[in-house]
A and B are shown apart, each in its own frame.
Chain A
């Protein structure tokens, strides 16, 4: 009987340590730093979403675009949908992106490039032990974005950009509407 006691106590002791193992991994479903959600609308029918054609989005200073799908070749950088989500820089208050429409088109005159610089402020918000902090953004109220065509003499393919949500706190809503 005494032996059983000792054995069971030893078990208790060892299991007490199994509770101390590092098992905290940030769950992918936890809302952390949100991306900027952009939706594309038809300028002629502003209530209707419009699909882009082979849109490529490249961050300023980057050579590779944002990956939009799981393709293995360069088409993974292209999207033909009506909404995109792009990450903002979490260490500075501006992020500049090039939006290239009809990217890779054989006829280069059909390729349009617009640059948009987003201006915002950042706030670090605690999430959990596993996830640490997340960064939330608020658009600069006086100057949320700067929009130019490349080259500047060309017409901008985005005809109107509307800031729908000034606070970027999650990815469940559209923050920016682009009409073209």
Chain B
């Protein structure tokens, strides 16, 4: 398990590097054209009479670029549809983000989960709600009026939940007296809490008008984890997902969101 996780992390890190590089190269493609234009604009008024060529060039610029700012709200389709085919799962996650600046978005997820986990020797049901809040940084340079997002972000997550041990098996390395059957338990542990940090890599693509589809991958680090008792531990935390031997976890979502435009802002050319 540790090995798989290790690979998962390293590949993930590798891929995230790859992502960063890919985005770096996009502006360089357009940069020659751009620097020319950007270099000329501020100088234009001063030298208008002297160099009519410059004004001729400015005419070729695409009309002023305006970014739309607003609120995006939606739902995680994965959690929503999973209940249809997985009888052990019921859950919903609402997602939202608000564009703060050109690159930064305030982002949050709010969800509720009811999941029965069937392990080889444990059967547990976890119920609870969670909230994740943080920001996304859009690293994608859009062309024209595109509004796609390839983001990296950070969230703080918090969950309150209860856990019920439905049944369990005892482990006996020397089954001379035979393997023991499942034992019913029904022990309920409520008032549990957990908090964690999440690194989010995500993509959102505008499909039509204000509708976006997106998915995100998340790596979680557990910060606090209130254990049910000395004799048990949290095997699943709503929002955080399955816990591992270390403090790490992983997750993803697949969202459909609707963008509510609030105002527009002109994109200032870079100097």
Contacts and interface: CB of A to CB of B under 8 A. Distances in A.
The reply to whether chain A is a binding partner of chain B is yes
Contacts, number: 113
Given A28-B173, A132-B121, A132-B122, A15 B4 contact: no
Interface stretch (B55-63, B163-171, B255-263): B163-171
A12 B171 contact: no
A130 to B, nearest CB: 7
Contact of A8 (B19, B122, B180): B19
Contacts of B25: 1
A1 B252 contact: no
Interface string B1-38: 10011011001100100110010011001000000000
B171 A33 contact: yes
Contacts of A11: 11, 15
Contacts of A21: 4
A66 B170 contact: no
Contacts of A132: 119-122, 168-171
Interface residues of A, number: 43
Interface in B116-130: 119-122
B171 A133 contact: yes
B85 interface: no
A151 interface: no
B25 to A, nearest CB: 6
A157 B218 CA distance: 66
A48 interface: no
Contacts of A12: 12, 15, 201, 217
Given A11-B11, A133-B168, A135-B170, 10 more contacts: A12-B15, A12-B217, A15-B11, A16-B252, A18-B4, A35-B174, A86-B176, A87-B174, A124-B168, A124-B183
25 contacts: A4-B18, A5-B19, A5-B22, A8-B18, A8-B22, A12-B201, A13-B252, A15-B8, A15-B11, A18-B8, A26-B121, A87-B175, A87-B176, A87-B177, A90-B172, A124-B170, A127-B171, A131-B121, A131-B171, A132-B119, A132-B168, A132-B171, A133-B121, A133-B169, A135-B170
